[in-house]
Amino acid sequence: MSSILLIGGWDPLGRAGLAADQAALHRLGLQDFSCLVTAQTAQDDGTMRLWGEPISRLRLQLEIIFKETQPTVVKSGMIVDEQQLGLLLDKIPPEVEWIVDPVLSSSSGQACYLDDCQGEMYRALLRRAELITPNLPEAEALTGMTSVTRDDLLEGLKGLGARRILLKGGHGEGPQAEDLLASSQPPQALRKPRLPGRFRGTGCRLASLVAGYRSQGLSWGNAVNDAHRDHHLWLQERATRT
């Protein structure tokens, strides 16, 4: 069993960010993980404020994590700016698999990445990642493409160097929510019934579930498919409660 490094912001309500990441891994019965806090937040369903962690604190956190653990999979969510991103690109070893959930803004619309997501630094992250998991607005922001098909967005992301893409369809319309998994093969459609209600932390949980399954040795395809199944079960449980 390998160790997982979770990178992201702290939500005091536990609905998104690192708290949601940890809940997803606990759902799989996994306990061997560490957390790197990039930001403190004050947020609810309508508003958010964030305070990025100083680079000196991030550096110290990373030193301790890699001294005491041997992560083989990294899942990152909120990264606040190029200074934080540059440190991560420099310090995370190239042999460590990196799953990137490109958190560019909160559910309430607050910017989370404060520099240019189309800049070279962020594009270096896309090239470094083994898997990126953007939703439709994030894919548009990363590529600069609007009013195009999802296939166009996938091609645009591949053109930026992304190797594997899980393009999430939660922001789409219709009775089915369809995610697309793309690598060197034609995209695989992952469909589930669209559920009523408003959910937070969905992207965090899905990417963390993929990380959890990868840490157990599953192939990328199986890890994504199993994570997609488990994530929908969690959504169904939440929808039933509301």
Q: How do residues 30-59 score in pLDDT, each as one tens digit?
A: 999 999 999 999 888 778 889 999 999 999
At the fourth CATH level, the homologous superfamily of domain 3-241 is: Ribokinase (3.40.1190.20)
Mean pLDDT of 99-108: 90
Q: Which tens digit of pLDDT belongs to each residue from 126-165?
A: 999 999 999 999 999 999 999 899 999 999 999 999 999 9
List residues bridging with 192 in a β-sheet. Answer: 177
Could you identify the residue written with the tokens 């609007």? 146
Q: How confident is the model at residue 5 (pLDDT cuts 50, 70, 90)?
A: very high
pTM to 2 decimals?
0.93
Instruction: Name every residue whose Cβ is closer than 8 Å to that of residue 131 and which is 6 or more positions away in sequence.
Output: 99, 100, 163, 164, 165, 166, 207, 210, 220, 224
How far apart (Å, rounded) are the C-alpha atoms in residues 107 and 125? 22
Q: What is the mean pLDDT of residues 229-238?
A: 83
pLDDT band at 1 (very low <50, low <70, confident <90, very high): very low
CA 115 from chain centre, in angstroms, equals 18
The angle at the Cα of 135, spanning 23 to 87, to the nearest 5 degrees, equals: 70
Domain ranges of the chain: 3-241
